[in-house]
């Protein structure tokens, strides 16, 4: 986790607003307006001609993929100085594209606009630890390369000491990212608290992960639910301020490159799947996760979701 330890690369003010690390250069909160980066070429990963030949001509002729992403460290880390975004999911996409003979241009956008943007054809794909939920796979296609799970972040000394049961969060105020699977998960607890005869849970949503974290730090909420890797990243930057609480009842989700649907999607998804399997097999994707995400989350084989028969 070399880059996680180098806090100079992170603009801590974007995680918690007014709190900043001296000498920082990279922002960690989604920008309200879209911004774009220069194209990245895949860090030395070699093109595989047989896989590149699988890419639809409409994509290959462009030479570079426009990929939407919301800032969500350590999956997507947005530089404040206009440099290319990084993070484990961005690097995964760069390498996968390189195998297909393509470059990548990442466009930073608000999370809750990503799916609509894919459906409208504004992007070739999207990334950023986006969960492959049943609801999302009804309208977009995933090519998986990673598995994630949710957890709870609370301030050190919080009254919430565990969440072994879903109803342990009843009577508390919880924050989540607008449009996220975490927001849906937390909102689903409202009926469970009522059925259990417990005090209601209050769920507040925010338009960026930075604002979720700000609300927690400012005491406007008691806890925040997000991916375990995102929480671990925040904790690595805000040492001794927060704790991670496991949610054993929360589902695990596969994540990966997300595609809008058009006449070329099925063919392009197979090319991405082949490129991903190539990089899983040669260990390149694992090395990226070792660097950015404590080595966690790699799957053994890429899947296209929904499947051709699903």
Q: Is the pLDDT of residue 31 over 90?
A: no
Residue 229: inside a domain: yes
Residue 45: inside a domain: yes
User: What sections of the chain are H helices per DSSP?
Assistant: 2-5, 13-16, 49-52, 57-60, 88-99, 114-119, 181-187, 189-195, 209-217, 228-237, 265-281, 284-292
Please give the mean pLDDT across all residues of the chain: 87
- The long-range contacts involving 20-25, CB below 8 angstroms and separated by at least 24 positions, are 21/237, 24/80, 25/79, 25/80, 25/81
Q: What is the pLDDT of residue 35?
A: 58
Supply angle C-alpha 145, 296, 31, rounded to 5: 70
pLDDT in tens, 262-284: 999 999 999 999 999 999 999 99
Q: Is the pLDDT of residue 141 over 60?
A: yes
Q: For residue 152, what are the β-bridge partners? A: 225, 245
Spatial distance between the Cα atoms of 211 and 263, rounded to a whole number of angstroms: 38
Q: Is the pLDDT of residue 29 over 80?
A: no
Report how many domains make up the chain: 2
Same domain, 201 and 278: no
Residue 20: inside a domain: no
Residue 4: inside a domain: no
Residue 305: inside a domain: no
Q: What is the pLDDT of residue 40?
A: 67
Instruction: Assign 112 to helix, strand or coil.
Output: helix
Q: What is the pLDDT of residue 22?
A: 20
Tell which of 219, 246, 273 closes a domain.
246
Same domain, 56 and 141: yes
Same domain, 197 and 225: yes
Residue 303: inside a domain: no
CATH number at 117 reads 3.40.190.10
Same domain, 133 and 234: no
Query: Residue 176 belongs to what domain range?
Result: 149-246
Q: What is the pLDDT of residue 41?
A: 63
- State the helix-helix crossing angle for 284-292 and 265-281, rounded to 10 degrees: 80
Spatial distance between the Cα atoms of 133 and 291, rounded to a whole number of angstroms: 27
């Amino acid at each position: 986790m070399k880059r996680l330890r180098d806090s100079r690369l992170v603009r801590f003010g974007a995680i918690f607003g007014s709190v900043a690390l001296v000498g920082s250069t990279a922002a960690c909160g989604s920008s309200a307006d879209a911004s774009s980066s220069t194209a990245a070429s895949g860090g030395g990963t070699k093109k595989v001609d047989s896989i590149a030949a699988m890419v639809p001509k409409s994509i290959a002729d462009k030479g570079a993929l426009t990929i939407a992403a919301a800032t969500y460290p350590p999956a997507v880390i947005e530089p404040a100085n206009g440099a290319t975004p990084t993070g484990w999911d961005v690097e995964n996409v760069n390498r996968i594209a390189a195998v297909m003979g393509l470059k990548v241009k990442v466009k930073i956008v608000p999370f809750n606009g990503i799916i609509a943007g894919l459906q409208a054809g504004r992007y070739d794909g999207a990334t950023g630890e986006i969960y492959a939920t049943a609801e999302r796979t009804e309208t977009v296609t995933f090519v998986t390369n990673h598995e994630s799970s949710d957890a709870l972040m609370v301030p050190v000394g919080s009254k919430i000491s565990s969440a072994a049961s879903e109803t342990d969060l009843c009577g508390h105020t919880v924050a989540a990212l607008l449009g996220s699977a975490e927001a849906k998960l937390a909102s689903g607890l409202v009926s469970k608290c009522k059925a259990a005869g417990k005090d209601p849970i209050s769920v507040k949503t925010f338009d960026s992960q930075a604002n979720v974290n700000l609300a927690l730090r400012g005491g406007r909420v008691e806890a925040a639910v997000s991916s375990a890797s995102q929480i671990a990243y925040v904790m690595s930057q805000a040492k001794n301020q927060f704790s991670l609480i496991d949610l054993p009842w929360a589902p695990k989700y596969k994540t990966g490159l997300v595609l809008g649907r058009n006449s070329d999607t099925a063919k392009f998804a197979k090319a991405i799947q082949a490129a991903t399997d190539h990089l899983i097999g040669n260990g390149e994707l694992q090395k990226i996760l070792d660097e950015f995400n404590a080595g966690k989350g790699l799957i053994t084989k890429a899947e296209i979701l929904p499947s051709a028969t699903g």
